[in-house]
Structure 1
Amino acid sequence: MIRTLTISLASALLLGTAMPALARGDRDQEHLREAAAQGQVIPLKRLISEVSSRSPYSDMTYLGGPQFDSRQMIYALKFMDGSQVVVVYVDARTGRIVGRKP
């Protein structure tokens, strides 16, 4: 009984903290759609293609699951370099790589 109650409370807490992030993600997607419709951002497929063709990313595998920050207009693209995941930050307006981790 106590275990069930503990699991229920933990689930409720996790869902409560996830909801704002989900709402922000929806707003980011809506903002991205609007910007794309107005020609303010480069289409995602083209950005992925352009980054994937540049060295050293041309030797890496693109993992998918891009993330978008609508405040900065930056995509985070994930690549696999051997056994390490590399996140490349790309300006959605210009296609310029603005950062990399690691």
Structure 2
Amino acid sequence: MIRTLTFSLLSALLISTGTPGLARGDRDREQDNLREAAAQGQVIPLNKLIADVRSRAPYSEMTYLGGPQFDAGRMIYALKFMDGSQVVVVYVDARTGRIVGRKP
């Protein structure tokens, strides 16, 4: 009984520690695909997108927080800004640079 419980716990531990590596691998692959798309002109480079959004009102008055997130399926970046005490997330189309949404 104890041997079975120990084996089960050990198996669960090994399985759970392998998952972050897989997720990291997926992110690395996604970043590679994104870099390739930027090199081929299919998407606008991230630093250019950020600079473009930061140059527009009202975002020019806000502090950019960094840590952009990318939705590869929709080709949308989520950029975070601080407006006073409120975090504002701006959604930008990676292909066109167009702002497609904002929250709040």
Question: In structure 2, what is the Cα distance between the partners aligned to 1:59 and 1:35?
Answer: 31
| CA deviation after TM superposition for structure 1 residue 15, in Å | 4.3
Partners of 1:12 and 1:78 in 2: CA distance: 35
From 82, 89, 97, the counterpart of 2:99: 97
The number of residues matched between the two structures is 95
Where in structure 1 are there 5+ consecutive unaligned residues? 1-10
**Within 2, Cα distance between the matches of 1:74 and 1:14?**
30
CA RMSD of aligned residues (A): 2.3
Task: Say if 1:36 and 1:42, in contact at 8 Å, map to a contact too.
Answer: yes
Question: Scaled by the length of structure 1, what TM-score is found?
Answer: 0.78
- Are the aligned partners of 1:47 and 1:95 in contact in 2 as well (CA < 8 Å)? yes
CA distances 1:43-76 after superposition (whole Å, capped 9, x unpaired): 1111111101111111100011111121111111
Report the 3-state secondary structure (helix = DSSP H, G, I; strand = E; otherwise coil) of the residue aligned with 1:54.
coil
1:89 maps to a residue whose letter is Y
Determine the structure 2 residue equivalent to 1:33.
35
| SS in structure 1 of the partner of residue 57 of structure 2 | coil
| TM-score (normalised: structure 2) | 0.77
Q: 1:71 pairs with 55, 70, 73, which one?
A: 73
Partner deviation per Cα, 1:6-51 (whole Å, 9 max, x = no partner): xxxxx87864554443233222201101101111111111111110
Distance 2:85 2:16 in 1: 30
The structure with the larger Rg is 2
